Chains A and B, each alone.
Chain A
Amino acid sequence: MDLALLLVFSTPLALAALGELIGQRGGVINIGLEGMMLIGAFLAVFAAKSSGSLAIGFASAGAAGVALGLFSGWFTVKLAADQVVVGTAINFFALGLTGLWYRAAYGSTGKMLNTVTMPKVFGVDPVVILLIAATPAVAFLVYRTNWGLALRAAGGYPIAAEAAGFSVERLRLQALALGGFFAGLAGAYLALGVANSFVEGMTSGRGFLAIALVTFGRWRPLLVGLAALLIGYCQSLKFSLQESAVPVLWLLWACGAFGAVAVIVVISRKLSNQSFLFPLACAALSWLLLNSNLNRIEIPSQLWLALPYLVALIVLVAVGKGTVVPGALGVAYKRER
């Protein structure tokens, strides 16, 4: 397994998921994450290409993320509008705007826009280092600061936060701005670090995968980071493997990694659920494959492309909703007037 490749694929997911986590801890589910990543990706490529500097690319993507976070916050927090409706609209906006901008800036579609290649620090992209630093930083922010405590109150029981003298509106807007910043960075890295170009709709569901990761990681930054590694691994498989004929060993790897994570999840839930059957099934499948005398089986390439989404869905089914979900998640807070 190629560790660098794994990190490259996990990083955009993890960054976006961390941003989403901050918002959800504050009680706002940001469905527009995908769109924010997409706009970040385009602006990063555009700014980096026209200025020749990667830093400016990342900075403008981050700034756009903050602006978009506040924009969606104006609707969902200030106007108390439905969060799913607003998020869906933002995704549409991003799809349309980036498509139009792309055509306006670079003409015909499908062109490869080679950007400046990223310098390596310790053999990996600096963004990966940033992520490794950001994950505990977010955990610290959420669990060990006054702001984090207030934010969790705003997401769990907003009336209490308000009674303690905090403004739920302000806390949620701040969380959305920070989350948007992360989403912008995630998109920028996807374009500048992974693809080296911009393609219309290039996020291809990564924003939604990131939302799924927050549930999977039980709204805890470190677990979310680990969960991102699993989905990133599934995404990297299709690039590290041959087109259609795939050695069974790889499938074993996937089953093994998947089963191991599932075991951790089940143990962390105190062995009290029928989802215990799930890692057992994985183990049984691995055992069957080991004992079958096929050493190569034909696996359609589409299965590898669908794998991240499939795994995310199966994991969500296995872990369920749980009890740690912020109590007021998705519910707009209206202060009594």
Chain B
Amino acid sequence: MIRVWRGVGTGAGLFIILVLTLLALRLPVGDSLRLIWTGAFGDEAGVHRTLVRLIPLTLCGLGIIVAWRGGMYNIGGEGQFIAGGLVGCIVAKALLKMAHPPGWWLTDSAVLLGGIAGGAAWGALAGWLYVRRGVEVVISTILLNFIALQLLLYAVSGPLQEGKGQLPLTDKIPDALMLPRFNRQTDLHVGIFVAAFAVLAVFGWLFFTKSGFCLRVVGENPRVARANRIDAGRTRILAMAISGGLCGLAGGVEYVGVAGQLGNSFSQQWGFLAIPVALLAGLHPLILVLSGLYFAAILAGSKTMAGFTSDGTVLIYVVQAAAVLGLVALHAVRSRHPLATEVD
């Protein structure tokens, strides 16, 4: 019961922060809220707009949860997302070259597996550097973000560029091979089931398996892990690999679900936006869906608020930062319940 009330309190707090931000921007609060609401949930198109944004937020958020639960401050979801998209694109390109390309089911599965592999490699690299060379994950993952971005820019204007070689884009996957959509007019695709499955899988793994338990022990108290002969180094690299794999999966889903091609702006900051989403969910995979829904709705809704921002990310940064700082202050004041990342 207390949990429910805490959830309600957090929800109310998030709403108040949104209102305060709108006030600070001197926007008409009532009209803005109504616009965001109708843009996010007003009709079928709005709901789909929200849900399609929920997919990458959830997948990247899960990645953040796994890493941070293991004590690895992975802020490189962005780079892992790009790495996943890149490997997915290479797989797709290879498959499309075949004389008889397989159907959408096989193609997309292969692309998604490629995405997982790419992201996992990018993430595990940072984990390995931490365990072996003591390079702080916060720094290495952010450096790897920039490297991945340049790699993407190179790939789309070099080896992976479209057939005509004019625009910095890759070839578009034929519509028939993309993930099927629920409605021709909207973007929502069956990737939502992938995200839902990932939520359940991560939840089950973290809380009901031995290796998930070991991961949480390593994150919460490395000394206890050591005393119980848990190999912290291996667990940390595993955490980063899974975390990167989830972010890479998000990249793959975005590629075969929405974009269909890679370009300079393939990554829409999902890897960054997911960090506060995961933090506000208390690093819990199931609550993540709720906090993801909230921010996905703001993202989808502010798209309809023209003349304000191009894509809503600027507004959402402020809301997210204020929410995280508010939550941090709240937890610190009632220090009986520190954040899951805080190790004494």
- Residues of A that sit less than 8 Å from B by CB: 29, 31, 75, 79-82, 84-86, 88-90, 92-93, 95-97, 99-100, 103-104, 109, 204-205, 208-209, 211-212, 215, 300, 302-303, 305-306, 309-310, 312-313, 316-317, 320-322
* A205 in contact with B329 (CB, 8 Å): no
* B318 in contact with A93 (CB, 8 Å): yes
* B339 in contact with A85 (CB, 8 Å): yes
State in angstroms the CA–CA spacing of A149 and B341 once bound together. Answer: 31
* A86 in contact with B315 (CB, 8 Å): no
List, in ascending order, chain B residues with CB within 8 A of A211's CB: 138-139
List, in ascending order, chain B residues with CB within 8 A of A79's CB: 328-329, 332-333
State in angstroms the CA–CA spacing of A204 and B147 once bound together. Answer: 12
**Nearest-Cβ distance from residue B249 to partner chain A, whole angstroms:** 22
10 CB < 8 A contacts A-B: A79-B329, A80-B332, A80-B335, A82-B342, A85-B341, A96-B314, A97-B318, A109-B310, A316-B135, A317-B135
* B150 in contact with A96 (CB, 8 Å): no
* B325 in contact with A75 (CB, 8 Å): yes
**Nearest-Cβ distance from residue B284 to partner chain A, whole angstroms:** 16
State in angstroms the CA–CA spacing of A321 and B135 once bound together. Answer: 6
B262 within 8 A of A: no
B23 within 8 A of A: no
* A302 in contact with B150 (CB, 8 Å): yes
**Nearest-Cβ distance from residue A238 to partner chain B, whole angstroms:** 11
State in angstroms the CA–CA spacing of A200 and B203 once bound together. Answer: 37
B183 within 8 A of A: no
Which residue in B139, B154, B317 is a CB contact (below 8 Å) of A93?
B317
Q: Which of B120-171 contact A (CB under 8 A)?
A: 129, 133-136, 138-140, 142-147, 150-151, 153-154, 158
* B279 in contact with A313 (CB, 8 Å): no
Known A81-B332, A88-B275: A320·B134 in contact at CB below 8 Å: yes
* A302 in contact with B328 (CB, 8 Å): no
**Nearest-Cβ distance from residue A239 to partner chain B, whole angstroms:** 16
B324 within 8 A of A: yes
Known pairs A82-B342, A92-B317. 19 more at Cβ < 8 A? Answer: A79-B332, A79-B333, A81-B342, A85-B341, A89-B321, A89-B324, A92-B318, A93-B321, A93-B322, A96-B314, A96-B319, A96-B321, A100-B25, A212-B143, A300-B154, A302-B151, A317-B135, A320-B134, A321-B133
